Amino acid sequence: MDLQSMWNLFFDHPSDDDDDNEDYLPPQRDFHPKIPYFFENIIPTYSLTDFKSHFRVEKNTYEKLVQNFGIRLYRDRGAVKMSPDKQIAITLWFLGNQEVYRSVADRFGVCKDTV
């Protein structure tokens, strides 16, 4: 195989051909099921003991963290952002448990890159 053939094999994109532009469809994203509304519906029902066992801090400590750091995490420009209390909850869950990014993302209904 010559160098030009190898180049075309790796770098030739279907959209580069002028006559095939109409038939090209971008790859579709894979669907990854999440736990719906875990943060919104399940966590508020935790007892104080359950909350501490999952997040490794007491609930009032979590609330103080939200009060102290929430304003710094809030953005009012651009697309709709995740609430600061959810950001802090995800961080505490990740730091307090031995779960991988994927599991934490599934649990909180966000994409893996958000964690």
DSSP 93-110: HHHHS---HHHHHHHHTS
Domain tally, the chain: 1
Q: pLDDT digit string (tens) for 53-88?
A: 999 999 999 999 999 998 888 777 766 688 899 999
Tens of pLDDT, residue by residue over 23-44, are: 777 788 787 778 888 999 999 9
Q: Please check whether residue 19 lies inside any domain of the structure.
A: no
Residue, of 47 and 8, whose pLDDT is higher? 47
In a domain, 95, yes or no: yes
DSSP sequence for 35-63: -TTIIIIIGGG--HHHHHHHHSS-HHHHH
List the one residue out of 68, 78, 94 whose CA is nearest residue 107. Answer: 94
Domain that holds residue 63: 33-114
Does residue 13 carry a pLDDT above 60? no
Token pair recorded at residue 107: 């649990």
**pTM score, whole prediction:** 0.70
